[in-house]
Copies of this chain bind each other. A is one copy, B any other.
Amino acid sequence: MHGASNNGKPLRKRIKDIRRQELAEATLLTLQEFGVNGTTVQRVSERAGMSHGLVHHYFRTKADLLEAGVRLTNARITAEVLALLERAKTPRQRIAAVIEGNFAPSLFTREIAQAWASCSGEAAFNESFARVMRMIYRRLMSNLLWDLKKVLPPQEAVVVAQGVAMMIDGAWLRRALESGQFTREQAMKPIWIFLEANLPKEAGE
C-alpha cells in the first residue's frame, strides 16, 4: 500500500482538511482575543504557525475563514449539549441538559462570551455570520421545544422556549460585558425560576 487511502481519502485531501481545521481553531482563538474587528488574516496565520499566504490557499476569502471559525465554536457548543443529553432520560432532565450545556464551565468563559458577542454584533450586517448565529438559535429552540411540547400545550411551549432562549442570550451578553464576575449560577437561577413556574408540577418525572 503506497501512501494512499487514509480514510479513503488521498493524502493531499487529508492535508487540506488538517490545515483547514488548524486554521479554524486559530481563528476561533483569535476571535476570542481580538473580536471580529481585530481578527486579521495575519494574526490567525501567526497563531496557526503558518504564513499568511497559506491562509488564502485554503480559504478563498477572509469571510470564509471567519465562518469556519464560528462554525467550530458552534460545533463545540453542540458537542457539550449532546454529551449531556445522552445521559438524560425524562423531558425535565433533557431540558436541564440543554441549559446546563449552554452554560458549561468550559464554554461559559468571558473570552468565549466576548467572541460570541462580537460575532452576534457582526451578524447583523453580515449574512454569513447571521446564518451561523441563526442556526445556533434554531437548534437551541428545537432542543427546548422537543421536550417542552411533551409537557405543555404547543403554543405555551413556544412562548416558554422563547423566554428561555432570550434569557440564555441575555446571560451570554452579560458574561461578555460584565468585567466583574457573572457566574453560570447567576445566569441559570432566573431561568429555572421561569421554568419551574411554567412546567407542570410533576413534569417529566
Contacts and interface: CB of A to CB of B under 8 A. Distances in A.
Interface of A: 34-38, 113-115, 117-125, 130, 133-134, 137, 159-160, 162-163, 165-171, 173-174, 176-179, 186-187, 189-191, 193-194, 197-198
B162 A166 contact: no
Contacts of A114: 124-125
B177 A170 contact: no
Given A121-B36, A124-B176, A190 B134 contact: no
A120 B166 contact: no
A197 B177 CA distance: 28
Of the candidates A137, A169, A170, the one having the most CB atoms from chain B within 10 angstroms of its own CB is: A170
A130 B190 contact: no
A173 B121 CA distance: 9
Nearest to A166: B170
A185 to B, nearest CB: 11
Contacts of A159: 189-190, 193
B166 A123 contact: no
A123 B190 contact: no
